[in-house]
Amino acid sequence: MKRVITAQEKEVYMYVAEDATYATGNQAIFQASEFLGAAVVDSTHTIFRFRPQNATHVLGTGTVDTFTLTHTEDAHIEVMKTVGEAMSNAHGGFVVIQDDLGTTTTADGATAGAAYTDLKYPPILSTGTAVAVTEVVVATI
């Protein structure tokens, strides 16, 4: 029997969160199929652009949804390739790109929380420097 695979079964969803406060607008889930492109902002920031999730906004107006990753200096290639590979998973799925859980205090007064990601970044090819993503900023409309 031939199995029919729908687009939804292959969709990749990417989760990003700025912090643990869960304030409105600090988290978003992006569909890989809505990806428009990525660009270097400066030596430690890479921006990823997506079609607006708000259906009232029209492409061509300059308004897009974005997340910007703060990372090790000059690690743009490694960051773009790793996120790109996560978006191109033929089986679809859900990927945590960056969740800045922040610092919280537990009932016993200890601190808890840290950044979390499903991605493993390779070192910078030319220098061997380890790559880390330390922060994400979400901008959705």
Does the residue 103 lie in any domain?
yes
Does the residue 58 lie in any domain?
yes
- Which pLDDT tens digit goes with each residue over 21-51? 666 668 899 999 999 999 999 999 999 999 8
Does the residue 18 lie in any domain?
yes
- Which pLDDT tens digit goes with each residue over 67-90? 999 999 999 999 999 999 999 988
Residues 79, 46 contacting (CB under 8 angstroms): yes
- List Cα–Cα distances, 86 to 31, 82, 108, in angstroms: 11, 6, 38
Residue 124 has pLDDT above 80, yes or no: yes
Residue 20 has pLDDT above 90, yes or no: no
Does the residue 2 lie in any domain?
no
Token output for 72 = 């090790």
Does the residue 69 lie in any domain?
yes
